């Protein structure tokens, strides 16, 4: 028996975590897959629908060393969840189970899916008080994490779940306690590029902090106001260059009209380039709590085009991160950054992407030749 297995057995005996026999689950169906395993929904006897998060495919032929590493990841996420999951805006862990050699987290099932899908289906019927409450739900969950000195490190609209109208922060696969955060530049680029702060996209050693989550929260606040994922209208070729333009050209999504001015100012402050210029979670909570949505003087004009939002196609490769880039692109971007003098040259997306030609990997010839 491995050290991890001994630890888990002890926690079960100590009633730290509940263990469910795997044969108590039925009608198991996969509902999502990502870099940290897959999630399925299942019916648990005498309980109802639950979510099962596995870190490895139980049918795969995985090496023992890799299995031990994944068991370690399982324990880390379990420990973090058990520390914070009693908060109403954090996805609750119900217990664990095991099939073959693989441990599985048993989680609260969110009956309305993730925030991205929820906005696509329901945005046209949401009032501003609904949107402010959604923003507050995420903020309250993150506020609690930060009070425990935990940073999530992977906030985006697919990691926010909706259950009976309440938003829950989920997926703690990248989360760390502040004391455990490192300057690993590769780990910093894991996740969705659109939600990652500029410092992590520059290929430099950088230690994520609470302000890293604040940047991601700012993008989420924009997404709630727009009803669509960030940079949805960008082509796949343009999206390959997003990280460069976000980090060096201060590229951000355009503000949405028809929203409270304070709300717009808040998310723009959250995605400020410099971490020290971003508000802390208490300031965000205070601003959202005090936002007076009834005062028409707070509104910009006109409101968003809801028909365009409703008909948007969000089925693009929204899981793109720097580790997914073809090697040619990564080498080209390294060369760009090496030769780029931010004080002299400011590349604009319109000049270098809008009417550009691309090679087979989507790298703009103009940008590759920038000296």
Residues with a catalytic annotation lie at 154
**Residue 153, CB-side half-sphere exposure with 13 Å CA sphere:** 25
42: its two tokens: 């299942």
The helix/strand/coil state of 250 is: coil
Angle 213-178-272 (CA atoms, 0-180°, nearest 5)?
30
Cα→Cα distances 258→139, 285, 299, Å: 22, 21, 6
Scanning the structure block, which residue is given the tokens 């991160």? 321
Cα→Cα distances 194→64, 70, 242, 319, 347, Å: 35, 27, 8, 10, 18
171 class by beta-carbon count within 10 Å (0-12 exposed, 13-18 middle, 19+ buried): buried
The answer on whether 33 is annotated among ligand-binding residues is: no
- Prior bond of 241 cis (ω within 30°): no
**Residue 80, CB-side half-sphere exposure with 13 Å CA sphere:** 25
- Please report, in range form, the residues annotated as the binding site for ATP: 53
């Amino acid at each position: 028996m491995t050290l991890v297995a001994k630890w888990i057995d002890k926690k079960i005996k100590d009633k730290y975590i509940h263990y469910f026999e795997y044969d108590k689950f039925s009608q198991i169906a996969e509902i999502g897959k990502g870099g940290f395993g897959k999630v399925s929904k299942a019916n648990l006897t005498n309980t109802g629908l639950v979510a099962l998060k596995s870190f490895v495919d139980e049918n795969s032929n995985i090496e023992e060393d890799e299995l031990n590493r994944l068991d370690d990841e399982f324990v880390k996420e379990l420990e973090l969840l058990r520390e914070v999951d009693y908060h109403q805006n954090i996805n609750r862990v119900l217990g664990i189970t095991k099939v073959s050699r693989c441990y599985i987290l048993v989680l609260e099932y969110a009956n309305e899916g993730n925030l991205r899908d929820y906005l696509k289906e329901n945005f046209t019927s949401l009032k501003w008080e609904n949107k402010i409450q959604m923003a507050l739900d995420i903020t309250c969950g993150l506020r609690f994490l930060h009070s425990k000195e935990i940073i999530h490190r992977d906030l985006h609209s697919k990691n926010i779940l909706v259950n009976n109208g309440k938003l829950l922060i989920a997926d703690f696969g990248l989360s760390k306690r502040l004391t455990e955060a490192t300057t690993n530049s590769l780990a910093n680029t894991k996740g969705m590029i659109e939600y990652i702060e500029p410092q992590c996209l520059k290929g430099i050693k950088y230690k994520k902090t609470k302000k890293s989550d604040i940047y991601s929260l700012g993008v989420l606040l924009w997404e709630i106001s727009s009803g669509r994922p960030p940079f949805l209208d960008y082509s796949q070729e343009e999206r390959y260059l997003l990280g460069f333009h976000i980090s060096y050209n201060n590229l951000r999504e355009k503000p949405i009209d028809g929203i409270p001015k304070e709300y717009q100012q808040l998310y723009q402050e959250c995605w400020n380039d410099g971490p020290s210029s971003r508000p802390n979670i208490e300031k965000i909570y205070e601003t959202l709590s005090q936002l007076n949505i009834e005062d028409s003087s707070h509104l910009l004009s006109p409101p968003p085009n809801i028909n365009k939002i409703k008909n948007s196609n969000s089925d693009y490769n929204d899981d793109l991160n720097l580790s997914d880039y073809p090697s040619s692109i990564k080498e080209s971007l390294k060369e760009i950054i090496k030769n780029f003098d931010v004080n002299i040259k400011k590349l604009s997306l319109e000049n270098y992407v809008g009417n550009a030609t691309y090679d087979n990997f989507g790298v703009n010839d103009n940008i590759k030749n920038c000296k």
